[in-house]
A and B are shown apart, each in its own frame.
Chain A
Amino acid sequence: MSIILSAVLTLLALATVFGAILGFAAIKFKVEGNPIVDQIDSLLPQTQCGQCGHPGCHPYAEAIANGEAINKCPPGGEATIQALADLLDVEPIPLDAEHGEEKGKQVAVIREDECIGCTKCIQACPVDAILGAAKQMHTVIAEECTGCDLCVEPCPVDCIDMIPVPQTIRSWSWNSPTAQPHMANQIIATDRAPGVTAQ
């Protein structure tokens, strides 16, 4: 009898102690927010363009975490869909054409002599990449521009162009040998293109 009692008491004591530890840990190490949302958010391109139908990348990340389709991000394109599919362990699906098509990287450029200084584009820019003041010419900080397109529509004089980011000698990098069949034939690392002859 006393053995049973002592066993019950021991188990009870253990349960109490572990319960207390777990309860403490639940409060002490509480994770704020949904970590999966942050993970998804870090894969999205952060253009904040709203083409997915959400007011920014983070809200879309939340929507994805709640089961929305992963193919609504045209700026991220197939690469983002693939990354999201890997993260969420779902099948990658083709980009939803309804939300736009994948374009190359773009940057907004204001034709400055046509700008009337209305500040509408400044209010539209989600990342504060447009500089200017009322009745003063505005200009885009190209470094900060995400190419989201949101400033084009509000411009009353249509003086904003979206131009593809040009490749410069400093942004250039090697192409995949498989992408260029003639390069797949070259043994030595040095060789990029077939020979060049003078004249």
Chain B
Amino acid sequence: MRQVWDFHGGIHPKENKTQSSQSAIAPAGIPPQLVLPLQQHIGQPAEPIVQVGDRVLKGQMIAEAHGPVSVAIHAPSSGVVSAMEIRPVPHPSGMSDQCIIIDTDGKDEWCELSPCEDYAALTPNEILTRIRQSGIAGMGGAGFPTEIKLHPPRHDKVNTLILNGAECEPYITADDRLMRERAEEIVLGLEIMAYILRPGECVIGIEDNKPEAIAALREAAKETQIEIVVIPTKYPSGGEKQLIKILTGKEVPNGHIPADIGVMCQNVATAAAVYRAIRYGEPLISRVTTLTGDCIAQKGNQQVLIGTPIEWLLEQNGYLAQKGSRLVMGGPMMGFTLDAINVPVVKTTNCLLAASYKELPPPQPAQACIRCGMCSEVCPAELLPQQLYWFSRGQEFEKAEHHNLFDCIECGACSYVCPSSIPLVQYYRYAKGEIRQIQADQEKSNQARERFEFRQERIEREKEEKEAKRKARAEAAAKAQAAKKEAAANKAPEPVASNDKAAAIQAALQRTEAKKQAKEAPQKATGDTQAVTLESLQKKLISAEDKYSKMQAAWQDAQVNNPERAEKLASAVTSSKDNVEKIKQQITELGGDNTAAVPAGPSIEELKSNLEKATGKLQLMLDTLEDAKQNHPDRVEKLERAVEKNRTRVSLAEAALRDADNPQKQTESTESEG
């Protein structure tokens, strides 16, 4: 015999189960309209895969699982999808959500199913996929997708697989009737789950107030290794962590799930649904729901199609609205009051309690906490409800969190025993909601900060890049400029600066002026000075010629590169040319006299150097001419003229040298003769 442990606290409220547990599960029938919320489970809502106007068959998938934590939704009966719209759904907020509406045709025509005689022929993964496709979510009340929960934990092995048949909450008898009538299905469903998880042991925990169910399960599990454990009746022994404590003596640590300590807990109704899904291929389209409370004439358990409007269901069973105090979905301890009765039954609706004023009287007004400590005595999670109350009330959420607020299972035991009628659980729910909100806000603000900082960084980076680009461009431009300048300088060293040229021209003009004066001067000069004048004139001629040729070159260059300057230079060149002509004239004038007056004339050396210079220049000019012939045809004519002049100059210089040579020879010969 297995040792049964006890958990801290707990209460013994009036059970009120016999009202509904006496009759067998009856089919509730097909309502004219089915309303199927897309979210009946924890996780993401399912995604519709039908269109308005489609005809759907019983068991046909109408919305598929969307996202990792989600389950599919199926048509509970055949009919036509008449709408997909926002409808009120059973939720504590009383708000509405997206629903698929099916107008049933009453034929209840099944779609094709894929049954499986032997689940052992399937791999565990195939079974898990079928469970997901069948839309099974935990049917005990929370509605967590069963497929996700059944995934074997990655690190730990599941040692103990527990089926929860405790059903500790007053009034509810759905699991009780299910265990009595369909014990085989539950046992076979547990075997399928065990096939996936391969646990060390399988245990079904039942409270001792359900002897018929215990007997039925014992009968069904006779040939198996499944252990049926009877536990003492105490609320909330059906809480997952409490049942684990009772059956194994282990406690699930704060912030962990049972799988972390090698335990998994499933509801008995979930096991039955898994069996039907695998064996017959039937998706989860109906469930056993307890209809109880004094406002319902025919109390009992019914097999209700998911999506059946509660209003219709109540009317079918004789709803005495005028007697009613509250309509509660779920049990009186953990369920919630429905604002309206036009909401549908969903996968987690295990009980509808239409309570009279006598059953659920309006509560007493809350009074001040007297610090009696009864709440902490009954708390099954071993918390300090009083402290949590103060913190929640004073909005000291951080302190409430430090007092393990999130370990509270909201069982309501503390509120039940509170002599001051303080709605303690309301405070905890409020505080939990606020803390979640604060956490969500914090997350969002962190995200916003990250995005903001990233943006700042990006803007900064873009600025820098722009700056770098601008700099690179400026540098490239400067380089190009420098290269251009250099090229220009190489091509024509003369026009380095036009200012210099202007100055040169100015200087040339002045010199011409001086020459004019000098020209006048020799006329007055005596014979002695004439030789000197001739000599200086010749020098002048040479320099003038030099300048002239230079100017001409510059002018030619300017013609190519700088047309404006070329015009100015052209005039300068002509004046320079005139100058040269004038000096030549002077020389020729003086030359006659000179040869007569001073036969020696300029020394032979000078004449020779003159000749050399002249021939060099001629050669240069010829080269330029050659070049011009190829590249600048317009310049050829001028150059040819210049070359002609130079030739005459060279011949002149040669003649002069010859003349100078001959008299010398003559004198030498005469001297030698003499």
Residues of A within 8 A of B (CB): 41, 44-48, 56-58, 126-129, 144, 146, 167-169, 172-178, 183-199
Contact = CB atoms under 8 A, between A and B. Distances in A.
Interface string B391-422: 00100000000000000001110011010010
Nearest to A105: B441
A175 B92 CA distance: 11
B436 interface: yes
Contact of A183 (B326, B412, B426): B426
Nearest to B311: A198
Interface string B326-353: 1110111111111111000000000000
Contacts of B330: 190
A195 B325 contact: yes
**Which interface residue of B427, B437, B454 has the most chain A CB atoms within 10 A?**
B427
A7 B451 CA distance: 61
A168 B95 CA distance: 8
26 contacts: A56-B452, A146-B444, A169-B91, A169-B93, A173-B430, A174-B426, A177-B366, A177-B426, A177-B430, A184-B365, A184-B366, A185-B363, A187-B364, A188-B332, A189-B333, A189-B412, A189-B415, A190-B328, A190-B334, A190-B335, A191-B328, A191-B363, A195-B326, A196-B339, A196-B341, A198-B321
Contacts of A199: 321
A177 B324 CA distance: 23
B449 A57 contact: yes
A191 B89 CA distance: 17
A44 B325 CA distance: 46
B425 A189 contact: yes
Given A46-B448, A190-B328, A197 B423 contact: no
A180 to B, nearest CB: 9
Contact of B337 (A56, A168, A195): A195
Interface size class on chain B is 35 or more
**Which interface residue of B319, B339, B366 has the most chain A CB atoms within 10 A?**
B366
Given A46-B445, A127-B451, A184-B365, A192 B337 contact: yes
Contacts of A46: 444-446, 448-449, 452
B266 to A, nearest CB: 24
B362 interface: yes
B434 interface: yes
Contacts of B89: 169
Contacts of A195: 324-327, 337, 357
Interface of B is mostly: mixed
A142 B9 CA distance: 47
A188 B324 contact: no
B319 A198 contact: yes
Given A174-B92, A177-B423, A189-B334, 13 more contacts: A44-B445, A126-B455, A144-B448, A144-B451, A169-B96, A177-B426, A186-B363, A188-B415, A189-B425, A190-B332, A191-B363, A194-B326, A199-B321
A144 B441 CA distance: 12
Given A46-B445, A128-B451, A198-B314, A190 B337 contact: yes
Given A45-B445, A196-B341, A186 B423 contact: yes
A197 B342 CA distance: 11
B433 interface: yes
Interface string B427-441: 101101110110001
Given A45-B445, A47-B448, A174-B429, A197 B322 contact: yes
Given A127-B448, A189-B410, A197 B321 contact: yes
B455 A187 contact: no
Interface in B349-374: 357, 360, 362-366
Nearest to B337: A192
B651 interface: no
Contacts of B97: 169
Contacts of B456: 56
A190 B91 contact: no
**Which interface residue of B339, B366, B393, B452 has the most chain A CB atoms within 10 A?**
B452
B436 A173 contact: yes
